[in-house]
Chains A and B, each alone.
Chain A
Amino acid sequence: GENVEQHPSTLSVQEGDSAVIKCTYSDSASNYFPWYKQELGKGPQLIIDIRSNVGEKKDQRIAVTLNKTAKHFSLHITETQPEDSAVYFCAARTNFGNEKLTFGTGTRLTIIP
């Protein structure tokens, strides 16, 4: 089955600086890679996703890059703000009748004011 590794497990960034979270996956058949933000006591919120036919996607301060050859994808948050503090999960999924997401282990991002 798919295995997703996520690094780092914790990340502290000065407000205004950029944060980068990296994930690797094992199943070359995976073709959908969402990122979720989870605040304390809440469910995960989809913040951005990327499909295997795209190398990069941006949405305001958030961007995701995908390297299919190396089987890794990354989340980039620029101009970080205190409200960006949360746990971020990457995930991977194939689309061949099995729509189960495999999650990374999460990254606790803390923005230092």
Chain B
Amino acid sequence: GAVVSQHPSWVICKSGTSVKIECRSLDFQATTMFWYRQFPKQSLMLMATSNEGSKATYEQGVEKDKFLINHASLTLSTLTVTSAHPEDSSFYICSGARQRGWPYEQYFGPGTRLTVT
């Protein structure tokens, strides 16, 4: 199968600090990676799309200077939440698109729960 890992699985940080979340595709090359945010009992909200070696494309309303995304290789993408505030507390999920013919299949990581105190 296609496996995506995230690290850490949960993190608690103080308001004003920055937090980095890693997303790795373990057994496939993800030309495109996606970052989502999910609030309790709600659906997934796409934050940004990143292609390897390119700048991320952010969805409307998502602050690119606050949520820094780096997709340096075909197997690693990182999301850095800068100057985190309590309202940034959420479940962050990454996803990798595996190109194997058409259509692209998208596989999700296990998520990272961020709590900002």
Contact = CB atoms under 8 A, between A and B. Distances in A.
B49 A100 contact: yes
A100 to B, nearest CB: 6
B23 to A, nearest CB: 10
A28 to B, nearest CB: 16
Interface residues of B, number: 23
Interface in A45-63: 45-46, 49, 51
B105 A46 contact: yes
B61 interface: no
A99 B105 contact: no
Chain A to chain B: the 7 pairs with minimum beta-carbon distance, closest first = A43-B108, A32-B103, A43-B111, A44-B108, A43-B110, A103-B43, A43-B93
A66 to B, nearest CB: 13
A38 to B, nearest CB: 8
A42 B111 contact: yes
A101 B33 CA distance: 12
Interface in A85-112: 89, 93, 95, 99-101, 103-106
B103 A51 contact: yes
Interface of B: 4, 6, 32, 34, 42-44, 46, 49, 93, 95, 97, 102-111, 113
A41 interface: yes
A31 B44 contact: no
Contacts of B4: 43
